Amino acid sequence: MDFAYEPPWTGLGRLWEGEAYRFQFHLRPGRPGWMERGRPPESVLAERRAVLSNGCHRALVWGDGADECWERVEAWLGDSLRAAAVGGQTPRERASRVAAVWAPDFLLLTRDGEEFRFVGGAVCFPSGWDPVEKLGRTVMEIHGPVPGLNAALGARIGKFLGGLQAGQVFERENWGLAATGALDLHPEVEAPRLRTGTPDSAVWFRLEEQAFVGVPGGELLLFLIHVRTWPLLEVLAATGSGVDFDRMLASMPAAVAEYKGLTAWLSGRQGAGTTSA
């Protein structure tokens, strides 16, 4: 997995394939390198360090059982990431050191009966959610506020997570739109929002590359989220799929649009086309 900056690519258009909007899982075997440091841009690392320094209370979340989980994860990291942890006096401190040099955010998920529960992690770049609020909740509970997600994919997600074997890595993408290209969209930041009349040229596309990792020893999963942002028009130009994108937006359920913060923007965009400025 290469965490270096790259422009949007043609394949992103698959995220809005189909006749209408729908939740999609799109799982595939993970690329190698997720457990290594890779080559994240210095600008990204600087932003991670700033969040961990000034917003550690809301970025580095740690609950019951997180210490033991992190010790197992740390033992499986690549050499450069294990080296980054050196000097931390507690598992939480070592996790913070790794979070400062690793491009993806990470969540520790432990098995609780038939489900998995979020017990700790480092989330520097959340897409409008508060990790502290989600700590201790199951995956189903975390997804609960997303209109229709559990109904559409909950059973499939649960079956997949329960069957993930130690050492396996699978990945997928999730996406969103924002009024800023900033990576940290924690509610505390109060980032600008899309408004009625915001032109497409001022909209940013936000991609989450996600990986699910089975940690050796069983009963523990590592969920990684690597965030990239680009101007929306760059993505549409790279994919050549503006018509499909418009169709997907037009068919998005109102409750989903509201949850994603798109209602006002969409209300003023109908018929505007994907190259409005």
The contacts of residue 50 (CB under 8 Å, 6+ apart) are none
In this prediction, residues 36-46 reach a mean pLDDT of 93
C-beta separation of 70 from 143 below 8 A: no
Round to whole Å and give the CA distance between 163 and 182.
35
Q: Phi, psi at residue 38, to the nearest 5°? A: 70, -155
Tokens of 159: 């079956």
- Confidence bin at 2 (pLDDT 50/70/90): confident
Range of lowest pLDDT (35-39, 106-110, 200-204, 208-212)? 35-39
In this prediction, residues 17-45 reach a mean pLDDT of 92
- Confidence bin at 270 (pLDDT 50/70/90): low
Round to whole Å and give the CA distance between 67 and 91.
5
| Residue 78: exposure state from Cβ atoms within 10 A (0-12, 13-18, ≥19) | middle
Mean pLDDT of the chain: 94
The contacts of residue 183 (CB under 8 Å, 6+ apart) are 44, 47, 124, 125, 227, 229
pLDDT digit string (tens) for 67-103? 999 999 999 999 999 999 999 999 999 999 999 999 9
In this prediction, residues 191-212 reach a mean pLDDT of 96
Tokens of 235: 């993505």
Round to whole Å and give the CA distance between 120 and 220.
12
This prediction has a pTM of: 0.95
In this prediction, residues 58-62 reach a mean pLDDT of 97
Q: State yes or no: pLDDT of 33 exceeds 70.
A: yes
Q: State yes or no: pLDDT of 263 exceeds 80.
A: yes
Q: Is 111 helix (H, G, I), strand (E, B) or coil?
A: strand
C-beta separation of 157 from 133 below 8 A: no
Round to whole Å and give the CA distance between 101 and 115.
30
Round to whole Å and give the CA distance between 177 and 260.
8
In this prediction, residues 93-117 reach a mean pLDDT of 97
